[in-house]
Amino acid sequence: MPKLAINGGKPVRSKMFPVHNFIGQEEKKAAIEVLDSGVMSEFLGGWDPIYFYGGEKVREFERIWSDFVGAKHAVSVNSNTSGLVAAVGAANVGPGDEVIVTPYSMSATATAIIAYNGVPVFADILDDIFCLDPVEVRNKITSRTKAIMVTDLFGHPADIDELMNIAEEHNLIVIEDAAQAPGAIYKNKFVGALSHMTVFSLNCHKHIQTGEGGVITTNDDRLAEKLQLIRNHGESVVEGKGVSDLVNTFGFNFRYTELQAAIAMEQLKKLPWLLDCRIRNADYLSLKLKDLPGIITPVVRKDCRHVYYVQPFIYDNDEVEVKRDKFIDAVSAELPTSPDRANVPLIWSGFVKPLYLLPMYQKLIAYNNDTLFGLPYYSGEVDYAAGLCPVAERIENDKIVMNDFIRPPAEIEDMKDVVDAFEKVYENRDELK
């Protein structure tokens, strides 16, 4: 008789995991207040000393967010993707400029560079925290390098001090994609005030959300002004505002609405509790699973806080003697998903393909059939060949496992079932061979 659910045995758990939804009465009240006021957005796309910066709620949200991370400025935007594009623009990246970027992130981290005809130069990642490896970054610097784009992947901060040291030596701008890391801590300081510009996401999958949304933080007055111009039709604002540096000040409409800002302020109040819940659940799983040989629980570096957008495990195929995907499918079969996930499991193998392996990079087509990245302005040679970043490729293809069971409001009782499922599959893994 098979024991494992994947082979027809009885699963560890039949009850669904709890729904992850923290839009409550507070958000409803805030939204109704805005609806009643009739002011859904108050941006003016021309120079005005107040409304160029948006409505009251947008400006209040920005003050609260900048206080929260300890940065001088916060600039809200309608998505993290818009924020990354604005940050690349504010860094004065132009045609043919290189930006060194992690290959292991959501695709927008690198495409933001292409939006300004910049050339993404991928550097490999660290195998413990999965963020850009500063040594690899150093190896990729050329006279064309303008910026470094790093992601605080899964909620663990990147090695920001090292990257900022490199940036200082070579006069580069560091853009930090912290879409997955609100509230993360690096060397006892909040992520958001440590690099030149940090971009957060408020999309529906993130720790806190307003459907879509984003916010960029910076301590630099010049960068803040440029971000505001890019967010809001800069080309028609510069004369009235008296801006003399016109580089990359052509603008977009990346504006956040009053409704979203009002909801975001309520969501931010909930963030500390939501993070505590994720961290408590992740710590419990790490403690209970760390002694299973071949299941390696996440590293949290000294004086850092991991905020577990997902909890990544490293899986050692040789040690367990069962292929990762087979093992994880078997764990998943022991545990149902949650009603808000359709039929998508709460645990799975792999995160994303290293970005240079996407068709656009493989075919070197960003704009049309005969326009390579940054060309004809680019004097270097792009390299997006398979094998470019072996650590990222090995981790993605063979090793990484994403665990989303930790999402609030799951409790330790729920985590016990996850531990039981891992242990059951581990003990009966001969059934999978």
The CA distance from 405 to 334, in Å, is 13
Helix-helix angle 258-289:25-37, to 10 degrees: 160
Determine the interface stretch with ligand PLP among 46-54, 197-205, 282-290, 397-405 (rule: CB under 6 A): 197-205
Nearer to ligand PLP, 5 or 131 (CB): 131
Least distance (Å) between residue 212 CB and ligand PLP: 6
- Spatial neighbors of 1 by CB under 8 A, at least 6 apart, are 9
The CA distance from 307 to 176, in Å, is 16
Least distance (Å) between residue 190 CB and ligand PLP: 18
Least distance (Å) between residue 77 CB and ligand PLP: 9
Nearer to ligand PLP, 158 or 237 (CB): 158
Nearer to ligand PLP, 150 or 172 (CB): 150
What three-state secondary structure class fits 75? strand
Residues 203, 236, 337, 428: which binds ligand PLP (CB under 6 A)? 203
Residues 62-91 that bind ligand PLP (CB under 6 A): 79-81
Nearer to ligand PLP, 180 or 338 (CB): 180
Least distance (Å) between residue 109 CB and ligand PLP: 5
Token digits for 112?
């933001």
Give the DSSP per-residue string, 233-292: TGGGTHHHHT----TT----B-PPPHHHHHHHHHHHHHHHHHHHHHHHHHHHHHHHHTTS
- For the beta carbon of residue 107, count every other beta carbon within 10 angstroms: 13
Least distance (Å) between residue 31 CB and ligand PLP: 20
Considering the rule CB under 6 A, would residue 179 count as an interface residue with ligand PLP? yes
Residues 214, 234, 312, 408: which binds ligand PLP (CB under 6 A)? 214
Give the DSSP per-residue string, 182-217: TT-EETTEETTSSSSEEEEE-STTSSS-SSS-EEEE
Least distance (Å) between residue 78 CB and ligand PLP: 9
Q: How far is CA 10 from CA 4, 183, 330, 345, 413, in A?
A: 7, 40, 12, 18, 19
Nearer to ligand PLP, 295 or 304 (CB): 304
Least distance (Å) between residue 116 CB and ligand PLP: 17
Nearer to ligand PLP, 110 or 391 (CB): 110
What three-state secondary structure class fits 404? coil
Q: Report the chain's C-alpha Rg in angstroms.
A: 23
Residues 145, 195, 198, 201: which binds ligand PLP (CB under 6 A)? 201
Considering the rule CB under 6 A, would residue 180 count as an interface residue with ligand PLP? yes
What residues does 174 pair with on adjacent strands? 148
- Judged by CB under 6 A, the number of residues near ligand PLP is 15
User: Which long-range CB contacts under 8 A does 322-329 form with residues at least 24 apart?
Assistant: 322/429, 322/432, 322/433, 324/349, 324/398, 324/399, 324/401, 325/349, 326/432, 327/425, 327/429, 327/432, 328/401, 329/6
What residues does 148 pair with on adjacent strands? 100, 174
Binding mask 282-311 for ligand PLP (x = CB under 6 A): ------------------------------
Determine the interface stretch with ligand PLP among 201-209, 245-253, 333-341, 411-419 (rule: CB under 6 A): 201-209
- Quote the distance between the C-alpha of residue 416 and its chain's center: 28
Residues 100-129 that bind ligand PLP (CB under 6 A): 105-106, 108-109
Q: How far is CA 152 from CA 35, 135, 252, 354, in A?
A: 35, 17, 26, 16
Determine the interface stretch with ligand PLP among 2-10, 13-21, 199-207, 363-371 (rule: CB under 6 A): 199-207
Considering the rule CB under 6 A, would residue 198 count as an interface residue with ligand PLP? no
Residues 27, 98, 177, 258: which binds ligand PLP (CB under 6 A)? 177
Phi-psi region of 33 (alpha: psi -120 to 50; beta: other; left: phi over 0): alpha
Determine the interface stretch with ligand PLP among 96-104, 177-185, 399-407, 412-420 (rule: CB under 6 A): 177-185
Nearer to ligand PLP, 81 or 338 (CB): 81
Residues 111, 145, 151, 210: which binds ligand PLP (CB under 6 A)? 151
Helix-helix angle 221-231:80-90, to 10 degrees: 120
Least distance (Å) between residue 108 CB and ligand PLP: 4
Considering the rule CB under 6 A, would residue 353 count as an interface residue with ligand PLP? no
The candidate with the shortest Cα–Cα distance to 296, out of 400, 374, 414, is 400
Nearer to ligand PLP, 231 or 424 (CB): 231
Nearer to ligand PLP, 80 or 249 (CB): 80
| Residues lying near ligand PLP in the complex (CB under 6 A) | 79-81, 105-106, 108-109, 151, 177, 179-180, 201, 203, 205, 214
